[in-house]
Amino acid sequence: MKILSVLASHDASVAYFVNGKLECFLKEERFSGIKKDGGIIKCVAELIKKNYDIDTVLVNSVAIYDPYIQSNLIPWIKKQFDCEIVLMRTEHHLCHAFLAFEKSKFEESLVVVIDRNGTHHEKVTEVESIFKINKNYDFETIYKNFVRTTHITVQEDGMHLSENLFDIETHQFLKTLNCDVMCDSSCGMTQMYESATALMGQDIHEAGKTMGLSAYGKNKNYKKLFYEGVVNSHYFFKYFDQEQENDVCFNKDFIDDKTSEITKDNYQFYADYAYQVQKQTQEEVLRLVKKYTNKTGIKKVCLVGGYALNVVCNSYLIKSLPDVEFYFEPIADDTGITIGSSLLFHQRTENIIPKIPYDTFFHSFKYDLKNIDGEQADEKQIANYLTQGKIVAVFNGQAEVGPRALGNRSILFDARDPDAKNKINKVKNREWYRPFAAIVLEKDSKKYFNMYHLESSPEMTISFPVISNEIPGVTHVDGTSRIQTINNSISHFYNVLNEFKKLTNVSVLLNTSFNEAGKPLIETPQQAIETFKNTDIDILWFPEKNIMLTK
């Protein structure tokens, strides 16, 4: 059975399975060059047609009836692929949950899904869910939080008002669910978080920027944004941002204070609010995890859904609940839905549990490098260049699936340099308040970071307090760093770190994704060479061939 699973909203992707084995995973943005690209998946469809046969296309949708999918996407897919089309449209959170559970390798766990929007049911939308899943893929829904769908109108004075559409039928529907149900708010945790992102003048999908800025915030005496799972709606309302084409939740107190740019002069107000949504949402996640681990007695927990990319919250959970074993899914956003829905589909139709790769998750094409010529460069030479302050880009094997660079499309730099951020920003041009991540030899990680009770953190899903003053280039203003611990499973990074350590006695390097400002992660060798030529990157290294390009 050859199945292509498609998600065509933002962060569009396809996952191609043959007899239950994931053969290929592609993101549209990596080929179109447009970050978070979605809609009609033109580029990846062409590539799939060229390389693979398909029996069935699985189309994922969060709505019972989505006019875009019905009238645009499905006819377009029919034209592209001459095969059966299955619409999978009711279990968005369960798809997230199956992916996280499968990759966690737990025998049984709770899976907490925290999402901006899941499946729409009539007049409510799921935003947070907790499932109990076991290795036979038997699952039980434990908790659901829905938000009430609202009807948005624009008033003469430009104000956007919302009318609550919640009604008796919806009430009846919620009563049929055999689990704890909440439905008292008009926005969930993720949208609460996005209110700070929107206030900062950013696209709401850029929550990572909010997380970066929150570290600059001061803890002030703010009003409570949650009461036992209920968003304090009095302070929030939704409006439709036509530029972004998204629902945005705003704190009413701040509606006039939206900025177009966070500067070193105006940042404090925005940072204080970002700090507050960070603090209060992570408190709410902790409350949920505590409540349901106590209630079920299950001490293994997976976190998934867009909010699970929040490395600060993940760190807070690890620190607060040492008796709980956590798995944070790195493909937590909707990118993972195409894989999760295939797992569900295979299990239901074929009664098989598909095979997906576990440890690191690189799953696009493997490119032929035979036409690339350069100077010889082994790990020792690369380490030596890094001690000289060179910016080194790495291109190796298949690209990372998720948003973090984990070794195959990375830019490396000396973490000891206090000015590292400014130097790397010549290439990346990121906002001044955002930190850079680090790689560290797993065996040395406790020398540099308070790892709490953990031995490793291989997927950059947690930030840790820095306990060394040797690595200012990767230490954020709040004294933390998002890290990837490296062992010899990623041999080129492992060897570079060991060689760098021999030269400097430090086994940490700055590691950021290989891309230009505002562009998606590099996919092909051609894109890599072009970016190398157009930017201030000093060296482009191909570890598979032990060669490099220099300027």
Q: Which residues of this chain interact with Fe ion, rule CB under 5 A?
A: 115, 334
Q: Distance from CA of residue 180 to its chain's centroid?
A: 27
Strand 508-513 and strand 300-304: the pairing is unpaired
State in angstroms the smallest separation of the CB of 529 from Fe ion: 35
What counts of helices (H) and strands (E) characterise the chain? Answer: 16, 27
Cα gap 92→113, rounded to integer Å? 10
Write out the two tokens for 165: 């559409």
Comparing CB distances to Fe ion, the nearer of 335 and 408 is 335
Element (H, E) at 313: helix 311-320
Comparing CB distances to Fe ion, the nearer of 116 and 416 is 116
Return the closest-CA partner of residue 33 out of 379, 388, 520, 445.
520
Angle, CA 260 vertex, CA 256 and CA 263 arms, to 5°: 110
Element (H, E) at 540: strand 539-542
Q: Distance from CA of residue 109 to its chain's centroid?
A: 21
Comparing CB distances to Fe ion, the nearer of 120 and 492 is 120
Comparing CB distances to Fe ion, the nearer of 119 and 457 is 119
State in angstroms the smallest separation of the CB of 108 from Fe ion: 23
Comparing CB distances to Fe ion, the nearer of 37 and 334 is 334
State in angstroms the smallest separation of the CB of 118 from Fe ion: 6
State in angstroms the smallest separation of the CB of 288 from Fe ion: 17
Write out the two tokens for 357: 């790769």
Distances (CA, A) of 35 to 120, 161, 174: 26, 31, 37
Write out the two tokens for 91: 């279990």
State in angstroms the smallest separation of the CB of 305 from Fe ion: 5
Cα gap 213→270, rounded to integer Å? 8
Write out the two tokens for 368: 């032929």
State in angstroms the smallest separation of the CB of 336 from Fe ion: 8
Return the closest-CA partner of residue 403 out of 8, 11, 10, 7.
11
Comparing CB distances to Fe ion, the nearer of 115 and 329 is 115
Comparing CB distances to Fe ion, the nearer of 115 and 538 is 115
State in angstroms the smallest separation of the CB of 125 from Fe ion: 11
State in angstroms the smallest separation of the CB of 333 from Fe ion: 7
Return the closest-CA partner of residue 480 out of 330, 310, 302, 266.
310
Dihedral Cα 348, 351, 355, 361, nearest 10 deg: 10
State in angstroms the smallest separation of the CB of 58 from Fe ion: 16
State in angstroms the smallest separation of the CB of 41 from Fe ion: 17
Cα gap 231→549, rounded to integer Å? 53
Return the closest-CA partner of residue 128 out of 358, 326, 292.
292
Comparing CB distances to Fe ion, the nearer of 115 and 523 is 115
Comparing CB distances to Fe ion, the nearer of 125 and 410 is 125
Comparing CB distances to Fe ion, the nearer of 217 and 305 is 305
**Axis crossing angle, helix 267-296 with helix 189-199, rounded to the nearest 10:** 170
Write out the two tokens for 171: 């009430």
